[in-house]
Structure 1
Amino acid sequence: MISGVPDQAQPFGPLGKGERLALEDVGSGVFEGYCHGGRAQERAYGGAVVGQALAAAYRTVEDDRSVHSLHAYFLRAVTPERPTRYASDVVRDGRSYSVRQVTATQGGKEALTMSVSFKLPQPEGSRRQPGMPDVPGPEGLDDGFAFRPATHPLRTAVECRQVPDAVGPDEGQIERFAWFRTVGALPDDPALHACALAYISDAPLAPTALVPYGEPRPVGVVLASLDHAMWFHRPFRADEWLLYACRSRLAGDGRTLAYGEFWDRHGRLVASVVQEALLRTRE
């Protein structure tokens, strides 16, 4: 096991056997895990698939390298009833960067393909970033997952505090902000925190496009992730509050595009996310 990346004996959060990021090594760079359901219980939560795929990639790279980016395509829905198999192939191991290609399959059919790039840490140099959004802290805010059952697997793993919805500077952009952290402390391992953030990142991003329709998911609206890209900028802890700033800027042609940024409480931009999703309204 690569240090810190969960196996069946070390699950992420207060979880049952075989859930979230837990993987079983079946040999030759192949791992298996179970993904819990999302909004529809018969379809797995996409963040669980991305988080497990990243965990599989981490299991095949040297301990001194950390993920800096991932690019994934969702090809088919995964059912929580059966295990998903992740094959992590070595694309390149250079002096500073390593690349892995992860293919997730279920029932012999490809469900997700993801490229993951890792790098050695570099000496700290000058950094440039914009200012953090000026929003209230998590204290006193409403539970952003209140619309989910109290026993829903996502709600038992992640805390969410929702900043009241805001519309952007023009009617074409929708902005939404929420604070997230895992339920309970995680071990001091950057790999585990990166996998946990990938797990969290899928939950509120594309649904930002649904603000005009109302939440939870309105009847007659279909939303499904198509692809997911993520960049990790600096170390962070997923068990400490992180602000997730989500912006939906485009909708049309049956698709919507959203941008996300994770900020820590010190005002540091720690990760960026872009996701495209299928968006259809049924008459």
Structure 2
Amino acid sequence: MKKNKLPWENLPIVIILSLFGLLCILPFWLVLAGSLTSESEIASMGYGLWPKHIDISAYTILFNDFGRIASGYKITITVTVIGTLLSLLVTSMAAYPISQDRVKYHSILNFIVLFTMLFSGGMVPWFIVCRRFLHLTDSIWALILPYLANAWYIFLVRNYYRSIPIAMVEAAKIDGASEYRIFFQIITPLSKPVLATITLFISLNYWNDWWLGIMLIDDPDKQPLQLLLRTITSNLQFLSSSSNVNVVSEVMKNMPSEAIKMATCIVTIGPILIVYLFVQKYFVKGIMVGAVKG
């Protein structure tokens, strides 16, 4: 009979994992402390884990125009939710036929998807297609459609689908199930780990994106949160580079530019952590099986 390990025997493992957890938390804590540190303290003593005097001026400046920040949050959350759901649907449905050897021309479809990973038309043709032909300008769809399909995600899901026994699909077809019913009622429930994994990847991509906003959004009121905060930090950098002007120099002297950079990280990082809490139990299994199988 196998004896249960005594608690003290697991103590080295607990200590090692605790230290590793602290090392993971340390960068976040350093960013938080930096956002609450005054500019003069950062200039004289550098970043520290504990600010001598709590200074919330960085957050005050960021939320000075709370209406725009709230609008940026609304746009980014909407884009992330809708984009993640649509991209997950497109990715999973595109991966299913190319994972089945019984599908005619599946090898050609695999090559087409792979080709998009190796070669691209370039930024200028992409911009012309989005602007002139798809008319993706100043629209929420301009922040969603360009990232709707990702070849690497499709291959990741395809490899996971190939790990599912083909006998299950054949048995369902014998029972008269249609392809849609097989996909949504058999394949999809069995693929929760890999679908949860790419859900995290896709949502992070939508949440952190500011590039589409620069390229396709002209209206300042329709800017996503990341682009809005990037604009604020860029303006601060421009002011600091123009410090030869006396008026600007006086303004920048009391401007917590470094703390604002840290504060933007804190402002944007919170909501996306919630997504990770829901998918973390599937994450390792999904990426390992999806990357190795097939």
Give the TM-score normalised by structure 1: 0.22
Q: Which has the larger radius of gyration?
A: 2
Say which structure is richer in strand: 1
